[in-house]
């Protein structure tokens, strides 16, 4: 089957939906896809509405339309409404970016079932709901599509202090491989991006809460240590990840599916 993932109706811009778009990597992805000429739906939790509105203004300043949606992606009904609202507003959905996620810095020994449930609800259940809803719409449309999820280098190799998080991101990698095999015949590609440490507000906030930081080091100092772990000598930025998503969302990635692509400056090599 020829690639139809970039085949929005004639003269109609392609449409992307990005979850967890209020800040960090999600914000960078939304802005990059807007620069690429896509109309954008952005979603996040209700308390993030002010940040979401700010991202929407930036998208519109780039000449693209933007739909702002409040959504808890762990809730099936809310995910369905989010996807349906995007489809209705823009007459379709071409790119789904299931970016929303949660980080936990904690040993397995000290973790609770509440910790486990919170991470898996968002990183696994939420991704599953978004992927399923997007695939259903794209199959119905019959014009292909791009489904892209947030995994992590930690989903390829487990690491101390991140056990629950690592397992959740490994699940995303498995979803990616399985769904790619199910929807390839419809011209839909399914891939994931696997960042290493990225300098985002979420990472710095979670590190600030960790009881494991020695001698009360400020979290920002860990950016320096992370940078020493890769070949390029710097910590990643949200824009580094957004560049990869831009490629995976484009026609140039038409023959790539089922992959979880590392973006970490060479710290981990497949």
3-state DSSP assignment of residue 25: helix
Query: How crowded is residue 194: how many other Cβ atoms within 10 Å of its Cβ?
Result: 26
- Strands 260-263, 188-195: pairing kind: parallel
User: 106, 169, 186, 226: which is the annotated catalytic residue?
Assistant: 169
- Strands 15-19, 188-195: pairing kind: unpaired
Contact 162, 154 (CB under 8 A): yes
Contact 70, 44 (CB under 8 A): yes
Which structure tokens are listed for 139?
Answer: 């199959």
Query: Among 35, 34, 28, 29, which residue's Cα sits nearest to residue 15?
Result: 34
User: 169 CB contacts (<8 Å, ≥6 apart)?
Assistant: 123, 150, 151, 152, 154, 155, 194
Residue 165 annotated among the catalytic residues of the structure: yes
Query: How crowded is residue 61: how many other Cβ atoms within 10 Å of its Cβ?
Result: 11
DSSP for 222-263, written as a single string: HHHHHHTTSTTSS-B-HHHHHHHHHHHHSGGGTT--S-EEEE
d(CA 250, CA 5): 8
User: 165, 186, 193, 226: which is the annotated catalytic residue?
Assistant: 165
Residue 186 annotated among the catalytic residues of the structure: no
State the catalytic residues. 165, 169
């Amino acid at each position: 089957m020829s690639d139809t993932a970039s085949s929005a109706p004639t003269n109609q811009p392609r449409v992307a939906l990005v979850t967890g778009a209020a800040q960090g990597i999600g914000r960078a992805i939304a802005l990059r896809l807007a620069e690429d000429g896509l109309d954008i739906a952005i979603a996040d939790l209700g308390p993030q509405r002010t940040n979401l509105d700010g991202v929407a203004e930036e998208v519109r300043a780039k000449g693209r339309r933007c739909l702002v949606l409040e959504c808890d992606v762990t809730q099936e009904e809310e995910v369905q409404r989010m996807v349906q609202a995007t489809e209705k507003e823009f007459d379709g959905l071409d790119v789904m970016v299931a970016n929303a996620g949660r980080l936990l810095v904690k040993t397995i020994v000290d973790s609770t079932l509440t910790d486990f449930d919170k991470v898996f609800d968002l990183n696994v259940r939420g991704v599953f709901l978004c992927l399923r809803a997007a695939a259903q719409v794209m199959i119905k449309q019959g014009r292909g599509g791009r489904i892209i999820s947030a995994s992590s280098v930690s989903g390829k190799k487990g690491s101390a202090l991140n056990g629950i998080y690592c397992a959740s991101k490994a699940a995303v990698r498995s979803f990616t491989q399985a769904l790619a095999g199910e929807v390839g015949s419809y011209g839909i590609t399914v891939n994931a991006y696997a960042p290493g440490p990225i300098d985002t507000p979420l990472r710095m906030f979670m590190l600030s809460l960790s009881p494991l930081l020695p001698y009360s080091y400020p979290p920002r100092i860990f950016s320096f240590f992370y940078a020493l772990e890769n070949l390029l000598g710097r910590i990643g930025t949200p824009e580094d990840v957004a560049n990869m998503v831009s490629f995976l969302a484009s026609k140039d990635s038409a023959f790539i599916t089922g992959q979880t692509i590392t973006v970490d400056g060479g710290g981990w090599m497949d």
